Structure 1
Amino acid sequence: MKNLKSKYIGYAFLLTSVTFLAACTKEYLNPNAATSGDVLTSAKGLTGVAVGLQKNYSTTRAGVLYASITLNGLTTNELISINTGNTNEERLVAGGVQVDGTNTVLLSIWATSNKIIYDADNVISNAANLPDKNYAAGLIAHASIFKALALGNLSEYWERVPSSIGQNVSFISRVEGYTKAIAVIDNALSVISANPISTAFFSNIPSGIDIPNTLNALKARYALFAGNYPLALTSANLVDLTKRSTFTYDALNLNPIFEIATSTNNVVQPKNISLGQTGAYVPDANDARIPFYTVVNTTVRINGFGAATFAQIPVYLPGEITLIKAEAYARQATPNLSSALTELNKVVTKTAAADPFGVGANLPALTGTYTQQQLLDLIYKNRCIELYMSGLKLEDMRRFSQPLTDRKRNFFPYPFQERDNNPNTPADPTF
């Protein structure tokens, strides 16, 4: 994030403070501080909350991005735990009943995602009241991206997700969670279509995120996860694959993978240069994505998007969108295997120079006749490689019917913080 945006971040935490104060028996008021009403009725205040959404999602060990990459990686064998003293990570490696509601990695995703949804709702609803509709459109679209990401993360890891934010909320299915994320995105797309985002808005938020392309990319992702293949294909076709959309970092907000794992070599690292894949899914020896994502320095270490302090992390990869198209073609009611193979080969043959992020397999094209299952196996293999450490593999393993023995858990128990305070919390899954 840019340093000049840091002044806004404090606003993001004001709402939480005000909420907790209301529940206390005593109030300690600062007459010089902004009230929640001030924050939520001004463009400046709402911008601060919007910037805070990005900070909460994409930075620090408790951020959803880092916690999701860690949880996903350890559960699906992409990553190993380096330090046995890191109890929560070690229990994720052990899996099964060793992962319970006390796990702080789980709690980071659960609590921070719910906070993001709460804050995003405040931005979305209150920005609509601003007189500058073009600036408001930027606020709504930006907040919608992070609300959708938060809903998507909850839906990936838990069988049921909260239907709303508040006390004693009910729960909906995870597919309904993805559908809800799509509805949030649709609203944002409608808003920016009616009122294009102003340049003034972009000057007040961290650079890096391409809002229109990100909205369509996330819509394609969650439509695929929800099994709506026509919508996934339509949305993927709207994404400009030449553009980058990234979380950016600076001296105040460091790349969390580098800061926590790479620079210290104390938390997680790649399991091996096969990216944790086995059998038919092991990357080809000449696959150029292996040296992109890993580097051997005595042991296998993180490279790619966690290689440097200020390295940008993609919100989505162009290769993901192409693979969504391939899978949608292969899974639609009448499979179009020819188009699926065409899209898959775009990823297989892509060079680093042809990719906005430098991710390229640079392999020969796949030729011949493939059955639907053979193509799906190849799509899964390439998703595991192309999207390494993206936090998406667990969803892929379920969708592609990979053996339960290949992952440490299928779904996760609910944090005790939720269970102790909400009688509607569902029963924990057996695995």
Structure 2
Amino acid sequence: MKNYINKIACITLIILVITSCKKEYLNPGGGNAENILGSPRGLTGVAIGLQRLYAAGRVGVYFNSVSATGFVTNEIQLMNSGNIPELQLFTGGNSVDGTNNILANIWTISNKIIYDADNVINNSANLSDKGYASGLIAYSSIFKALALGNLSQYWEKIPAGIGQNVGFITRVEGFNKAISVIDNALAVIAANPISAGFYTNIPVMPNVTPVTPAIDITNTLYALKARYALFAGNYPLALTAVNSVDLTKKSVFTFDAQTLNPIFEIATSTNNVFQPTNINLGQTGANVPDAGDKRISFYTVPNATAPTARLAGFGASGSASIPIFLPGEMILIKAEVLARQPDLGNALIELNKVVTKTPAADIYGVGADLPVLIGPFNQTQLLALIYKHRCIELFLSGLKLEDMRRFGLPNADRKRNFFPYPFVERDNNTNTPADPTF
């Protein structure tokens, strides 16, 4: 793994050169590493670079996660069979192998993020300004947790660390590792609140007065903790974490004319990569959206010719921001946890908050605006409804494959269950596990 991490180190160099920030950052590819990792300026540059590695462009984890999940769960359809990695995923089954560049991007860039985040986290502890160090540690922990979470969503086992012939841990251990990263960040913030000076040097919300950071750090940490605790099956922890999330605060990846929204740049603005499977977001049977569900008109626009639906939503323009999490996701986490306890009455109350939510009542404009669901429902029925509304509320978020497994959807409803390990790992690590059969 270490060998290919070094091969993509140039990505960080490019990122730091183009990062828009108020401080002048040193070049980690051309100077003494101690100067970079020993100064607030250098560490800030590396930390902000993590966001571009995760969210920007065709190689970023976000776009590739959306693509991989979308194709194998039928959210999206392929528009050009000449795109071979996309064709493999769209076809599914044994067509997906270790040569797939989409999967290699998720794997390689996620590990690069973990490597760089560790450098920031470990070296920030040595700074004299503990409030600034706290910001660096917490901000970098968000992206380390996201990277660990993405690896754990797609592979049965993930690397235990970075290095030569590293061992592997289970995906549940991977989710728990992400939670440990988050817990450490929350403890650091509690001991030394993030300084105002740090917030002036990270991306801000576009066109918002007063100036507001694009990522609400503490809120995002709790939201990701709730997500990964849910995925790990730790329902009490998920409930505690989700109750700490303020649903009125935004946390987004921002884009501009120099760094375009990757969904818009690669898919929405063309008809050459993917579009929604149909106006029902690829859902079938009982999971088809209800008539009048306003989330359909948020995420898609009708098209007179094939494809019958085109992308809208968070990929509608080159400068559109992409949320790290939605309020609806947090509400549905609470509904699911309560349903699994089971506390069906309160679970239905939470589910109805999403079902009846109007676009105007949501900070991002995502709202079904449907009539209230009237019970009683048994646990199986309620969980099925929660799954249905997760599929609609969180369309093209990269989370559906994990949902399909967690809710026990049959393998026939998806084109892959877990992914094969990229050859870039297998060729460099003798400990790489066997590929899954499906």
TM class by shorter-chain length?
over 0.9
Change (3 A) 1:10 1:289: farther
Alpha-carbon contact 1:288-1:362 (below 8 Å) kept:
yes
- Unaligned runs of at least 5 residues, structure 1: 18-32
Residue 340 of structure 2 corresponds to residue 331 of structure 1: yes
User: Counterparts of 1:3 and 1:407 in 2: how far apart (Å)?
Assistant: 39
Summarize the Cα distance change of 1:429–1:189 in structure 2 as closer, same or farther, 3 Å threshold.
Answer: same
Partners of 2:62 and 2:397 lie apart in 1 by 9
List 4+ stretches of structure 1 deviating above 6 A: 6-10
Partner residue, 1:27: none
Q: Secondary structure at the match of 2:292?
A: coil
Q: Given that residues 3 and 252 in structure 1 are in contact (C-alpha distance below 8 angstroms), is that contact kept between their aligned partners in structure 2? A: no
After superposition, where does 1:241-390 map in structure 2 within 5 Å? 241-298=247-304, 299-332=308-341, 335-390=342-397
1:134 aligns to what? 131
Measure how far apart 1:216 and its partner are.
0.2
8 A Cα contact 1:9 1:51, kept in partner: no
Contact 1:58 1:66 in 2 (8 A): yes
Matched, 1:159 2:166: no
> Are positions 1:215 and 2:212 aligned together?
no
Give the match for residue 403 of structure 1.
Answer: 410
8 Å CA contact 2:22–2:201 kept in 1: the answer is no
TM normalised by structure 1 equals: 0.93
Query: Any residues of structure 2 matched to 1:59-138 within 5 Å, and which?
Result: 59-138=56-135
Give the TM-score of the pair, scaled to structure 2.
Answer: 0.92
Report if the CA contact (8 A) 2:23-2:41 is conserved: no
Quote the offset at 1:4 in angstroms: 3.3
Cα separation, 2, equivalents of 1:241 and 1:250? 25
Shift of residue 3, structure 1, vs aligned partner: 6.7
> Do 2:26 and 2:42's aligned partners in 1 also have CA atoms closer than 8 Å?
no
Aligned-residue offset at 1:297: 2.9
Q: Matched residues in 1 for 2:109 and 2:429: separation? A: 17
Deviations 1:249-288 (A, max 9, x none): 1122110000011112211110001000000000001100
User: Counterpart of 2:278 in structure 1: which amino acid?
Assistant: N
In the alignment, residue 123 of structure 1 is paired with which amino acid?
Answer: V
- The 3-state SS of whatever aligns with 1:5 is coil
Match in the other structure for 2:195: 198
Give matches, 1:52-63, under 5 Å: 52-63=49-60
**Match for 1:327: what amino acid?**
E
Q: CA contact under 8 A between 1:8 and 1:51: conserved in structure 2? A: no
Question: Which residue of 2 is the match for residue 419 of structure 1?
Answer: 426
Alignment partners' CA distance in 2, 1:217 and 1:147: 14
Distance in 1, matches of 2:269 and 2:202, equals 28
Q: Aligned AA for 2:262?
A: P
Contact 1:10 1:52 in 2 (8 A): no
User: What code does the residue aligned with 2:274 have?
Assistant: V
Measure how far apart 1:345 and its partner are: 0.3
Q: Who is 2:3 aligned against? A: none
Deviations 1:170-223 (A, max 9, x none): 000000000000000000000111111111111111121110110000000000
The count of residues paired between Structure 1 and Structure 2 equals 410
Q: Which amino acid aligns with 1:262?
A: T
Moved more, 119-128 or 244-253: 244-253
CA–CA distance in 1 between the matches of 2:428 and 2:78?
A: 31
Does the Cα contact within 8 Å between 2:19 and 2:49 map onto a contact in 1?
A: no
Contact residue 350 and residue 361 of structure 1 kept, 8 A: yes
Does structure 1 conserve the Cα–Cα contact (< 8 Å) formed by 2:255 and 2:319? yes
Q: Percent identity?
A: 66
What residue ranges of structure 2 are gaps of 5+ in the alignment?
A: 1-14, 205-213
Greater mean deviation of Cα atoms: 243-252 or 414-423: 243-252
Find the counterpart in structure 1 of residue 33 from structure 2: 36
Q: Deviations over 1:306-333 (max 9, x none)?
A: 000100000000000000000000112x
Match of 2:21, SS state, is helix
Distance 2:238 2:300 in 1: 30
Task: State the alpha-carbon separation in 1 of the partners of residues 385 and 302 from structure 2.
Answer: 26
Residues 85-106 of structure 1, C-alpha deviations (whole Å, 9 max, x = no match): 1011011011011000000000
RMSD between superposed Cα atoms in Å: 1.4
Paired with 2:299 and 2:275, the residues of 1 have a C-alpha distance of: 11
**SS, match of residue 48 in structure 2:** helix
**Superposed CA offset, 1:11-52 (max 9, x none):** 5xx3xx5xxxxxxxxxxxxxxx32111110000000000011
Deviation at 1:7, TM superposition (A): 7.4
Per-residue Cα deviation, 1:72-96 (whole angstroms, up to 9, x for no partner): 0001000011111101101101101
**Residue aligned with 1:4, SS:** coil
Query: 1:6 offset after TM fit, Å?
Result: 8.8
- Work out which of the residue numbers 185, 189, 192 in structure 2 matches 1:188: 185
- Alpha-carbon distance change, 295 to 163 in structure 1, aligned in 2, over 3 angstroms: same
8 Å contact 1:49–1:119 — kept in the other structure? yes
Aligned equivalent of 1:179: 176
Report the AA paired with residue 305 of structure 1.
F
CA shift at 1:5, angstroms? 2.1
Secondary structure of 2:301's match? Answer: strand
Q: CA deviation at 1:61?
A: 0.3
